Structure 1
Amino acid sequence: MTFRTFLILIAAGGSAALLLGAFGFQYIGEMPPCKMCYWQRYPHAAAVGIGALAILIPGAFFPYLGALAALATSTIGAYHAGVEQGWWEGPSACTSGSITGLTPDQLMEQIMAAPMVRCDEIPWEMFGLSMAGWNAVISAGLMLIWIAAARQRR
């Protein structure tokens, strides 16, 4: 096994592990994902497939594509973590709007239209980082591994 292949296996395996962790939280931990959580999963799934192609097909294209997938999920994770912390507003489809100045009927309408799982609530955290924050940090590391793999000669 070449060092390039080893790096690709680590990077794609890292995405697979993060996906398995997300499914574990969802199905074993009974923490259903919000809309932004799902958005973070798609690039990880792509990275796993890209990893298989990168091992089979020489060149830097697929490892750089894997780095792009890792960057995408890291960016979404950082954005989601910021929404959870209240640093900025998230998509109106999965966060709560202000209730200031609402009539009781308007408030009830907002409550009834609210999503089941909100993107601006932190369901779990460790060392001050939410799942979205951890995804951002770990995925940034995976991006660096993908880039290292792209720069390796076969």
Structure 2
Amino acid sequence: MCKHYFHLLLIISILALSGAYIGEFFLGILPCRLCYYQRYVYFALLSFSLIFILKPNINKIISLLTTFLILFTGFIISFFHSGVERHWFKYNSVCTGFSEPINSAEQIVRNIEDASIAVCDILGPQLLGLTMANWNALLLGFLCCVTLFIYCKDQK
């Protein structure tokens, strides 16, 4: 079951990254800094899933715990992004509408150079009332639970 799970995670990672890049390059949905962080999680998940598929002799406990840590990290990032979008959390960054007082010309230049394409604290496109960050948090939270279930089942 564990090997099939890594195949599923590989497919989910490919689909999530494909959806993100199709949205960005073909639909004009611009990502913010937190969106990029969420993509990094899927790149890590894709890489480790591929390693665990190609090297099946790796200890199941290590592979499942590594997978859980990647998924949980992604869940935290997605949940935080969802909270920033819905103004539950204040994220003081050039990625949001919140800004620090400008005290020097160097700070202005730094803010321009650090500016992301989209802001993090504005709701993006929604599907059934949820943004992509919301859907991502739900998916990754569910996958965390599935990974723990498989881990607990293998321990018996």
User: Which TM-score band applies after superposition, normalised by the shorter structure?
Assistant: 0.7 to 0.9
Q: Whose relative contact order is higher, 1 or 2, with alpha carbons under 8 Å and at least 6 apart?
A: 1
Distance 1:25 1:131 in 2: 11
Unaligned runs of 5+ in 1: 103-108
DSSP 3-state at the match of 1:60: helix
Unaligned runs of 5+ in 2: 102-107
Which residue number corresponds to residue 20 of structure 2?
22
DSSP 3-state at the match of 1:93: coil
Distance 1:76 1:117 in 2: 17
* TM-score normalized with structure 2 length: 0.79
Candidates 4, 7, 13, aligned match of 2:5? 7
Which residue number corresponds to residue 88 of structure 2?
87
Cα shift at 1:124: 0.6
* TM-score normalized with structure 1 length: 0.80
Pairs within 5 Å for 1:27-106:
27-55=25-53, 56=55, 57-97=58-98
Which residue number corresponds to residue 118 of structure 2?
117
Cα shift at 1:59: 2.2
Q: CA RMSD in A?
A: 2.3
Is the 1:9–1:51 Cα contact (8 Å) retained in structure 2? yes
**Distance of aligned partners of 1:67 and 1:16 in 2 relative to their CA distance in 1, 3 Å threshold:** farther
Cα shift at 1:128: 1.7
Aligned-residue sequence identity (percent) comes to 26
Is the 1:83–1:89 Cα contact (8 Å) retained in structure 2? yes
DSSP 3-state at the match of 1:122: coil
Moved more, 15-24 or 32-41: 15-24
**Distance of aligned partners of 1:97 and 1:91 in 2 relative to their CA distance in 1, 3 Å threshold:** closer
Distance 1:151 1:8 in 2: 16
Distance 1:91 1:38 in 2: 17
Cα shift at 1:146: 2.9
Is the 2:96–2:120 Cα contact (8 Å) retained in structure 1? yes
The aligned length equals 141
